[in-house]
A and B are shown apart, each in its own frame.
Chain A
Amino acid sequence: MSDMNDNIARAHVGENAELYALGLLEARERAAIDAHVAGCSTCLRRVGEAEETAAILAQSLPRYAVSPRLAERLARAANAPEQVRAGRPVVVHLPRRVHPAWFAGMAAVAAAIAITFSGYETFRERSSLQTEEVALATVARSHFFHQTLANAAPSDSLTAKVLYARDGAWFYVIVDEPPPALHVMETVGGVERDLGPPLTDGRVETLFVPNAGHPSQIELRSGSTPVASARLTYAP
């Protein structure tokens, strides 16, 4: 099964596009496809076309009364404060004593991901198949790039790093000794969005964002002041 997920993530989705649209794939297989189509317009189109056909099939299903209660539930849930910050559904801690020797940091990240993924297999009940676990499963199977964020001013001495999936499906920001009121901005398709503050763990702050949508830039701001940024480049 893991080989299949790896193949989906690396190669084009092929016939899995139709299986996806009909609801026949497991959560991890779907996550691998989601990660792939985030950076592959050909497969995105094929999946979309399969979904359009499946939507036509749905027109032949029996009609049922629509529940107005559900609209209210959804409106309440969508407006809940913790869900408004929808750009950061997963935060992964690094150990407290992180030295800016970044390979050690990355090893810690890999360990955290591996631990989470090994736990994933034992929590396959529906309630645990949330976006977080699915995203982490994707991360554990990904190859990634890393970049040091450039300080905005020569006098700044912020040390920050971003790890990001080669296909742009996720990124992970690590900041050593951050300034106050730090928050992370991402730019996707020319649109800038505030993802909020990273999680503090001692003198290190981290932010993990799955389903990142192929960001072209990550920027750190202290209040409204840009302090560091990185332009993300991807493999052709």
Chain B
Amino acid sequence: MEERLVEEFIARRPDALGRAYEQYAPQLIAVARHAMGNAAAAEDCVHDALLRVWRTPGSFRPERGSLRAFLIACVRNEAMSTLRGSVRRDARERRAALLDPPEETTREPLDFLDAERVRAALARLPEEQRAAIVQAYFKNRSQSEIADHLGVPLGTIKSRISLGLRKLQLDLGEVRAT
């Protein structure tokens, strides 16, 4: 089914964008909501990210991987760009937001099994790599913010995140979320 959707998405069939959204909506909305914090902003973020991809032919090729992972990354990048823009416009709001625990911490995850495996895989990482990835992905902090927060140089943060994610990749290699 995904194979056909991918073909139609690449061929820019008129209904393929809406169908891609419907197919991956839970993940796309979750990624946007996690960064943006509220439903309306998350919806706009997913909308903008998907349209940006749609208007950029050739941005996705099957050799890259799955369409799902690609679109999730696009939404994540859209959300983080928006968040960073907001930070620049009003750093104080951003700091205040960081102090407030996100409301969704008690909600159920998209997938319990994958969530447990992710938790376990993160726990197996060296502490400095785990901390960097948690700050980057789950706390939505920028590289500079992480460097400040952890008190290490920016280049070190980049390396820790890269190494950590590659180790997670090996560890979670068998996990294939639906």
> Which residues of A are interface residues toward B (Cβ below 8 A)?
14-27, 30, 34, 37-38, 41, 44-45, 47-67, 69-75, 77-79, 83-84, 86-87, 89, 124-126, 129-131, 188, 193, 210-213
A74 in complex: contacting residue of B47, B58, B119, B166, CB < 8 Å: B47
Dominant secondary structure at the B interface: helix
A21 to B47, CA, bound (A): 19
CB distance A71 to B175 under 8 Å? no
A-B contact count (CB 8 A): 235
11 A-B pairs (CB sep. < 8 Å): A24-B143, A59-B27, A60-B118, A62-B109, A63-B26, A64-B29, A77-B47, A78-B14, A86-B12, A125-B89, A210-B56
CB distance B137 to A89 under 8 Å? no
CB distance B114 to A60 under 8 Å? yes
Interface residue? B69 (CB, 8 A): yes
Which among B30, B35, B50, B119 has the greatest number of chain A C-beta atoms within 10 A?
Answer: B30
A78 in complex: contacting residue of B18, B68, B169, CB < 8 Å: B18
With contacts A44-B64, A57-B118, A126-B81 taken as known, whether A71 is within 8 angstroms of B29 at the C-beta atoms is: no
> Which residues of B are interface residues toward A (Cβ below 8 A)?
12, 14-18, 21-22, 25-27, 29-31, 33-35, 39, 42-43, 46-47, 50-52, 54-59, 61, 63-66, 68-70, 72-73, 76-77, 79-82, 84-85, 88-89, 104-105, 107-111, 114-115, 117-119, 133, 136-137, 142-143, 158-159, 161-163, 165-166, 168-169, 172, 175, 177
Contacts of A19 in B (CB 8 A): 143, 158, 161-162
A61 in complex: contacting residue of B34, B163, B166, B169, CB < 8 Å: B34
Contacts of A45 in B (CB 8 A): 63-65
CB distance B115 to A48 under 8 Å? no
CB distance B47 to A86 under 8 Å? no
CB distance A74 to B21 under 8 Å? yes
B166 in complex: contacting residue of A18, A44, A67, A213, CB < 8 Å: A18
